[in-house]
Amino acid sequence: GVQTCALPILLAGIATVEEPPRPQPDLDEPEPAAIEFAHLIEPLAEGVLLLDERRVVVAVNAAAARILGRPTDVMLGSSLIVALRDHDLAEIVRASTGEPTSVHVSSSDHDVVATSSAVEAGPVRTLLVLEDVTELGRARRARADLVANMSHELRTPVAAARAIAETLQAGVSEPEEAARFHDRLVEEIGRLDAMVDRLLRLSRLESGSESMAVEALRPAELLRTAVERIEPLVEARGAHVAWACEEDLPEIAGDRARVLEVLSNLLDNAAKFAPAGSAVRAWAERDASGLVRFEVRDAGPGILPGDRARVFERFYTGDRARGSGGGTGLGLAIARHIIGRLGGRIWVADRSPGTTICFTLPVVAPVDAGAEGDGTSPAAEGAAGEA
């Protein structure tokens, strides 16, 4: 696309090929030059507003409308303050220093770097460029949070391993005590190894470099297998698992190992917060949109509404955000990326008491009636071949 920094030159170029001066048209009828400018700025990713000598908007693109949270037809032909409805932006335009200035647009909750420059191109006297840096700011904050959280999470096992190693180095007279310290050292190193492994795994999922072996899967079989895997651990914590799933639910498209990983993670996480003697419940059903929805519920303390979206962040410090991977705080973040890669969605349901985490997966698309063969989808054939 055209770089915004070249806009004043381009605008001037268009202005030089205008027809000879003619009577001033009505405000409701845009000048031909303004129409040309509108076509020029529309494809730009940055928001652009062009104002005349009275600071009336003569052209505005869709990006500016999105950033400002104002329809283009409302801003076009309006005065500066009516179009922007933002005092800080209006002051930047009045100054028109050509210097980029950071400002928060409260009406649309966007962080913006605004640059206002004085130009002379036909009817245009002011060029206002808005660069949306909201996502960039979020990414910077996320990186800072990740570094801080990693430092916090790594500090405990590193400190413990160091203390144990120093104790062994100093000498432990009793063989049984020495063996116990050795076991604890191996355990702490294992925690560090698991954390690093999960970080690498999450990085591969986020970058899309981890492949998915998508096949047709039966929801009931997935639930049964996940429960069998995790049931002894749940019972060891004083709870029990209750699950239900109709056998005739349609097959879903997914990677078997990774869907089982998500289900096992949710069941294990639920067991950590389920009161002794209570049930961890799991089930699957067809939802209103035609997808298959899995749900895992516990009777624990629940998650505050403000935390429900954040529990899927890496290392989120809320207690319920802790995944099952040895307390790494990465389990739900990995689950979110797995389900997203498979075309589904995962969320915390607005229910109480306790916590219910749901995720959906798409149903295997049926083969057209006119297709050759016995009507079995390729994915289902692959699944049957492995059975």
List pLDDT tens digits, range 251-297: 999 999 999 999 998 998 888 888 888 999 999 999 888 899 999 99
Q: Does position 35 have pLDDT exceeding 80, yes or no?
A: no
Give the dihedral of Cα atoms 194, 273, 148, 313; nearest 10 deg.
90
What is the model's pLDDT at position 177? 83
DSSP structural state of residue 125? E
Three-class SS of residue 218?
coil
279-286 and 240-245 strand pairing: parallel
Span 296-303, average pLDDT:
89
What is the model's pLDDT at position 8? 56
The neighbouring-strand residues paired with 116 are 128
Strands in 355-361's sheet, in edge-to-edge order, are: 240-245, 279-286, 292-298, 355-361, 345-348
354 closest CA partner among 304, 300, 308: 300
Contacts of 378 (CB under 8 A, 6+ apart): none
Three-class SS of residue 371?
coil
Interatomic CA distance for residues 272 and 243, integer angstroms: 17
Contacts of 182 (CB under 8 A, 6+ apart): 168
User: In the chain, pLDDT over 70 holds for what percent of residues?
Assistant: 79
Lowest-pLDDT range of 108-112, 178-182, 323-327, 350-354:
323-327
Q: Token digits for 347?
A: 């969320």
What is the model's pLDDT at position 184? 84
pLDDT band at 100 (very low <50, low <70, confident <90, very high): very high
The amino acid at 151: S
Interatomic CA distance for residues 221 and 30, integer angstroms: 65
Lowest-pLDDT range of 10-24, 110-124, 125-139, 177-191:
10-24
51-56's contacts with Cβ under 8 Å and 24+ in sequence apart are: 51/80, 51/93, 51/124, 51/125, 51/126, 51/127, 51/128, 52/123, 52/124, 52/125, 52/126, 53/123, 53/125, 54/79, 55/79, 55/80, 55/93, 55/94, 55/125, 55/126, 56/27, 56/80
Q: What angle do CA 135, 138, 139 make, to 5 degrees?
A: 85
Q: Does position 16 have pLDDT exceeding 60, yes or no?
A: no
pLDDT tens digit string along 201-238? 777 777 777 788 899 999 999 999 999 988 888 888 88
pLDDT band at 380 (very low <50, low <70, confident <90, very high): very low
pLDDT band at 316 (very low <50, low <70, confident <90, very high): low
Interatomic CA distance for residues 242 and 271, integer angstroms: 12
Span 324-351, average pLDDT:
81
The neighbouring-strand residues paired with 117 are 97, 127
What is the model's pLDDT at position 359? 95
Instruction: Tell me the Ramachandran region of residue 109: left when phi exceeds 0, alpha when psi lies from -120 to 50, beta otherwise.
Output: left
What is the model's pLDDT at position 251? 94
The amino acid at 50: L
Span 132-143, average pLDDT:
80
pLDDT band at 145 (very low <50, low <70, confident <90, very high): low
Q: Token digits for 45?
A: 């990713």
Interatomic CA distance for residues 128 and 95, integer angstroms: 11
Highest mean pLDDT among 10-24, 94-108, 175-189: 94-108
Lowest-pLDDT range of 46-50, 123-127, 279-283, 301-305:
301-305
Q: Token digits for 40?
A: 């020029």
Question: Locate tokens 């040309």: which residue?
Answer: 36
Q: What is the pTM of this model?
A: 0.54
